[in-house]
Structure 1
Amino acid sequence: MQQEALVNQLHQMLGIVLYMALPPLVAAVGIGLLVGILQAVTQIQDQSLPLAFKLLMVIAVLALAGPLLTVPLVREATAVFDNFPLMTR
């Protein structure tokens, strides 16, 4: 396999990883900010409250957006398996 083809393949895979990680990460940051503001306003100092809300939000985002997030992964995996004999020469 040529070096530029390997670099191109790794670049595509890292893009897919970033694409799949972005929605849950944004949801966790957003809900963490909202819960933090709520805790500051109400002076509730419970440490498990933000974690529980973040966990529920990430699970909800993955459940709702999971089929959309896996499309590029399946497409790239299919392309890699189809082109595997050419890549290993």
Structure 2
Amino acid sequence: MEAANIADLFSEALFIVVMIVTIIIGPSLLAGLVVATFQAATQINEQTLSFLPRLLITLMMMIFAGPWIVGKVVDFTRQLMLNIPILIG
């Protein structure tokens, strides 16, 4: 196994992780920004006010994008398992 193969596998795995995190956390960050803007405009300084919308949006994104995420991880794992003989030999 050459260093180029390892680097390719690592970069592909890292790209998949970044895609998954972006899809799950991105909308939650936007919701947090909207709630923080609302809190700044109304001067309500309640910490739990921003927690519930972010939690609900994160859970909804996991439910909505879950099958796609699992499919991506399974495809990458399947590709990795099928390429083991090629990578070793």
- On whether the aligned pair clears a TM of 0.5, the verdict is yes
Offset at residue 41 of structure 1 (A): 2.0
Q: Give the letter aligned to residue 46 of structure 1.
A: E
C-alpha RMSD of matched pairs (Å): 1.3
Residue segments in structure 1 that go unaligned for 5+ positions in a row: none
Give secondary structure in 2 for the equivalent of 1:45: coil
CA distance in 2, matches of 1:76, 1:69: 11
Give secondary structure in 1 for the equivalent of 2:10: helix
Stretches (4+) displaced over 6 A: none
How many aligned positions are there?
89
Q: How does 1:1-89 map to 2 (within 5 A)?
A: 1-89=1-89
Q: Give the letter aligned to residue 53 of structure 2.
A: F
CA distance in 2, matches of 1:47, 1:74: 38
CA distance in 2, matches of 1:55, 1:11: 30
**TM-score of the superposition, structure 1-length normalised?**
0.89
Residue segments in structure 2 that go unaligned for 5+ positions in a row: none
